[in-house]
Amino acid sequence: MAAAQATRGQALASTFTLVQHHGGNYSTALTRHNQRWCHQSSCCRRYVMYTGQKFEDLLRVEQGDGGQPIPTSWAKILTVRRELSSSAEAVVYIDADAFLRDACWCPIFAPGVSMLISGDPPRPSWATGGWTARFNGGFFAVKANHDGRQLMASWWHWWARRKADWAGAGRCAGCMAEANANSACPIECKFGGRLTDQGSFDSHVLPKNSHHIRELPKGFQALPDRTVGCAGTVVHSAAGAGAGDAEWSLRACARLGHERNCVGV
């Protein structure tokens, strides 16, 4: 099957490296699923999981001797920047508690576009509260060109502005691991709050670079739900869900049918 095909004029589907990372516990069932998805995809050329020593080594290089620890959520920027320096045409990042369903999905970058993002998943019937952000950091795709690398550099720049808040005396100091599930964490340190990687992108990087960024259709990411959520190209567990919850989502969606037809988004 051809890895790239013309669509919407000059826009082409790009081959890519699929990246996940996790600094602690994660569902091996989900990572195995995403790895199989990559191998079956016409566009995914390589699957990379940063965990264990590989993940720690990446953080250590950035921290330097005696450097400040980097929260797992912020570290996604580092893993994507590392892979952008490889031979891939693009890099796709997906959280370790999420999985891809559409076996035919490929990132399509229109001329001038170097990043694809998707917003918060629509709220299913069982959920409380709401998700309204234009950018949900659990999934995004970056083209391996100058503009794509600049977007990631601009995003990482905000870690330098935020890291004092994540240091020992900072307001987010107690939120280094699993911040979203920690009731003691201030709201600005979780759920895409202004001191998080997602909040910093949404408030500062996206508005200044919207001409290089395409927002995928609402519902591209979906929260797991027996009736609605499995329609998403990406199914993303709710904040604070454990590995068992994520694996339940994978089984529930599998019972509803195999991967959807190609959607061309």
66, pLDDT greater than 70? no
pLDDT classification of 8: cutoffs 50, 70, 90: very low
- Spatial strand order of the sheet with 11-13 comes to 6-7, 11-13, 108-109
pLDDT classification of 262: cutoffs 50, 70, 90: low
Residue 48: count of CB within 10 angstroms of its CB = 18
pTM of the model: 0.88
* Residue whose pair of structure tokens reads 């994978």 in the numeric block: 250
- Phi and psi angles of residue 201, each rounded to the nearest 5 degrees, phi first: -65, -45
User: Nearest Cα to 48, choosing from 71, 73, 82, 23?
Assistant: 82
Q: How large is the average pLDDT for residues 57-64?
A: 79
Q: What is the mean pLDDT of the chain?
A: 82
| Least confident stretch, 21-30, 81-90, 120-129, 197-206 | 120-129
- Cα separation, 107 vs 216, whole angstroms: 10
Angle (CA) 246 248 250, round 5°: 75
Q: Decide which of 259 and 138 is more confident.
A: 138
Q: How large is the average pLDDT for residues 177-204?
A: 85
Q: How large is the average pLDDT for residues 17-24?
A: 82
Q: What tokens appear for 73 in the block? A: 């959520």
1, pLDDT greater than 50? no
Q: What are the beta bridge partners of residue 12?
A: 6, 109
147, pLDDT greater than 70? yes
| Least confident stretch, 70-74, 138-142, 219-223, 227-231 | 227-231
Residue 260: count of CB within 10 angstroms of its CB = 15
Q: Quick one: 9-255 is in which CATH superfamily? A: Spore Coat Polysaccharide Biosynthesis Protein SpsA; Chain A (3.90.550.10)
Which pLDDT value is given to residue 92? 97
Which pLDDT value is given to residue 121? 79
Q: Is there a contact between 32 and 93 (Cβ–Cβ < 8 Å)?
A: no
Q: How large is the average pLDDT for residues 164-181?
A: 82
